[in-house]
């Protein structure tokens, strides 16, 4: 991308023998259009152009949601432009005159597949949540829609499935985002203190209540009050909560003044609330008040597609610049996918964090996994062919991954050769490999 045709031609001459396809573009505005319409692997742009400066081009490009890697070439480089380039997420920065060998070496380094940048590019985490599972994606869509409303939301799901993250996303994506997000863990606070925690108290409300205490409903103002582990709340307190949910009115403990709550209430539990209602442990009227919209997060064992993505994501998060492992071998990943994850995403996160800190080799292999995971997943493996399980989308993903691994193995890690084996054009094949976070170096002899 440059508005000097001779420079474009010169670059094409350098790149052509090494790239599947090179598109020249003399107008930044046309480049923006092209990048919206077609997938590209990389953008090379100069800084100074008449129609639109290189930095402005990048700002607009990022503004339209593109995360394409960008290499900037400039004849007018100084420290300030270099800093601005880094700030805008430019991957590499070169000064004119361009030395072909140097440009190629930089590009090779940039395009070498590594799970981390590929991940950032293909997943676009929503409020730090990633998932490629169709049920989770549907939940993300609901969150986006529901966040705009004032409706109460009940979030259900086993421990560690991401209920808290969803509650935060509902707040962060909605119009109350600048108001407080106040969280109360109903299981962590002793029953006799929970009431004054929620509603506050006035002096002398009970022995030891000397001053006035502002409760969590007041603190939340017109923000969001997140009642976590609502299933643990005692029956008497449930009645008091019901009163606020019915009319927004409440009193501080020991207080006479009636206060009005404007907060949006979101609740979560890992209990089966419907069953708690049936057995009389949870008030049915409260249940229906909370249950205006409910989101049930699927356990990790029902979304095996997410296991490799989350593993790569956490490895990247906990690596923190240290020389942590590159990733899991295909065998290790397959084993993790067959495991039942009773602690769900949190359990996987802790496992990966341990590896990021303690593992001293480049790859985490099957033998490195804890015995409990290996033995359980072996049993699961002998019971069923996992590629035939789950939804169509999950089965297709499982197949795609296995197929890519097999072609890479046959081609001994040579991506071009593997793409030929698969009869796919190279950029399509490269993209697939990156989407699945596969590292071709693993398959080199």
390 binds, among Mg ion, ligand ATP, none (CB under 5 to 8 A by kind): none
Q: How far is the CB of 155 from ligand ATP (least distance, A)?
A: 8
48 contacts ligand ATP (rule: CB under 6 A): no
173 binds, among Mg ion, ligand ATP, none (CB under 5 to 8 A by kind): none
Say if strands 249-251 and 258-260 run parallel, antiparallel, or are unpaired: antiparallel
Nearer to ligand ATP, 142 or 414 (CB): 142
Nearer to ligand ATP, 159 or 238 (CB): 159
Whole-number Å distance between alpha carbons of 182 and 171? 10
For ligand ATP, the binding residues in 165-184 under the rule CB under 6 A are 165
Q: How far is the CB of 314 from ligand ATP (least distance, A)?
A: 8
**Segment contacting Mg ion by CB under 5 A, of 21-29, 113-121, 136-144, 162-170:** 162-170
Using CB atoms within 10 A of its CB, is residue 194 exposed (0-12), middle (13-18) or buried (19+)? buried
How many other CB atoms are found less than 10 A from the CB of residue 260?
11
Nearest to 119 by CA among 261, 326, 265: 326
How many other CB atoms are found less than 10 A from the CB of residue 284?
14
Q: How far is the CB of 194 from Mg ion (least distance, A)?
A: 17
Q: How far is the CB of 351 from Mg ion (least distance, A)?
A: 19
Whole-number Å distance between alpha carbons of 139 and 155? 11
157 binds, among ligand ATP, Mg ion, none (CB under 5 to 8 A by kind): ligand ATP
For ligand ATP, the binding residues in 264-283 under the rule CB under 6 A are 270
Whole-number Å distance between alpha carbons of 407 and 412? 8
Gyration radius (Cα) of the chain, Å: 27
The two counts, helices (H) then strands (E), for the chain are 20, 14
Degrees (nearest 5) of the Cα angle 272, 276, 281? 150
Whole-number Å distance between alpha carbons of 436 and 445? 21
Instruction: Note the Cα 304 to chain centre separation in Å.
Output: 15
**162, 215, 223, 437: which one binds ligand ATP (CB under 6 A):** 162
129 binds, among ligand ATP, Mg ion, none (CB under 5 to 8 A by kind): ligand ATP
Q: Is the distance from CB of 440 to CB of 415 less than 8 angstroms?
A: yes
**58, 130, 241, 351: which one binds ligand ATP (CB under 6 A):** 130
154 contacts ligand ATP (rule: CB under 6 A): no
**27, 142, 159, 340: which one binds ligand ATP (CB under 6 A):** 159
Give, to the nearest 10 degrees, the angle between helix 426-435 and helix 392-410. Answer: 120
346 binds, among ligand ATP, Mg ion, none (CB under 5 to 8 A by kind): ligand ATP
Instruction: Note the Cα 401 to chain centre separation in Å.
Output: 20
Whole-number Å distance between alpha carbons of 200 and 194? 9
Q: Phi and psi dihedrals of 425, rounded to 5? A: -75, 155
Q: How far is the CB of 443 from ligand ATP (least distance, A)?
A: 28
164 contacts Mg ion (rule: CB under 5 A): yes
**66, 114, 164, 414: which one binds ligand ATP (CB under 6 A):** 164
For ligand ATP, the binding residues in 314-353 under the rule CB under 6 A are 345-346, 349
Residue nearest to ligand ATP (CB): 162
176 binds, among ligand ATP, Mg ion, none (CB under 5 to 8 A by kind): none
Contact positions vs ligand ATP (CB under 6 A) = 128-131, 157, 159-165, 270, 345-346, 349
Contact positions vs Mg ion (CB under 5 A) = 164
């Amino acid at each position: 991308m440059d508005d000097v045709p001779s420079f474009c031609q010169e670059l094409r001459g350098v790149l052509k023998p090494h790239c599947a396809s090179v598109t020249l573009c003399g107008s930044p505005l046309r480049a923006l259009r092209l990048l919206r319409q077609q997938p590209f692997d990389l953008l090379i742009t100069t800084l100074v152009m008449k129609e639109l400066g290189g930095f402005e081009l990048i700002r607009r490009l990022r503004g339209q949601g593109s995360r394409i890697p960008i290499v900037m070439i400039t004849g007018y480089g100084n420290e300030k432009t270099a800093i601005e380039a880094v700030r805008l997420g430019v991957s590499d920065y070169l000064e004119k005159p361009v030395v072909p060998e140097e440009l190629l070496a930089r590009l090779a380094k940039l395009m070498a597949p590594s799970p981390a940048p590929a991940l950032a590019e293909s997943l676009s985490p929503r409020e730090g949540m990633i998932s490629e599972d169709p049920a989770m994606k549907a939940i993300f869509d609901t969150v986006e829609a529901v966040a705009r409303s004032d409706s109460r939301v009940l979030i259900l799901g086993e421990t560690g499935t991401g209920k808290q993250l969803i509650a935060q996303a509902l707040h962060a994506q909605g119009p109350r985002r600048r108001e407080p997000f106040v969280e109360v863990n109903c299981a962590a606070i002793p029953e006799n203190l929970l009431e004054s925690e929620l509603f506050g108290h006035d002096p002398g409300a009970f022995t030891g209540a000397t001053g006035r205490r502002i409760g969590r409903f007041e603190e939340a103002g017109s923000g969001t009050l997140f009642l976590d582990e609502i299933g643990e709340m005692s029956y008497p307190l449930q009645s008091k909560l019901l009163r606020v949910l019915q009319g927004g009115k409440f009193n501080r403990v020991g207080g006479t003044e009636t206060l009005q709550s404007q907060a949006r209430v979101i609740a979560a539990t890992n209990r089966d609330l419907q069953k708690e209602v049936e057995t009389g442990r949870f008030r049915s009227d409260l249940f229906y008040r909370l249950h205006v919209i409910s989101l049930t997060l699927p356990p990790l064992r029902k979304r095996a597609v997410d296991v490799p993505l989350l593993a790569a994501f956490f490895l990247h998060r906990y690596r923190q610049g240290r020389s942590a492992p590159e990733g899991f071998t295909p065998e290790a990943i397959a084993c993790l996918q067959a495991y039942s994850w009773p602690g769900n995403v949190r359990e996987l996160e802790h496992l990966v964090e341990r590896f990021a800190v303690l593992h001293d080799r480049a790859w985490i292999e099957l033998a490195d996994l804890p015995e409990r995971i290996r033995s359980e997943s072996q049993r699961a493996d002998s019971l069923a062919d996992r590629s035939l399980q789950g939804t169509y989308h999950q089965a297709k993903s499982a197949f795609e991954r296995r197929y890519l691994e097999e072609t890479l193995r046959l081609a001994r890690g040579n991506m071009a050769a593997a793409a030929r084996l698969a009869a796919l054009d190279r950029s399509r094949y490269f993209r697939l490999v990156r989407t699945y976070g596969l590292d071709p170096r693993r398959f080199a002899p």
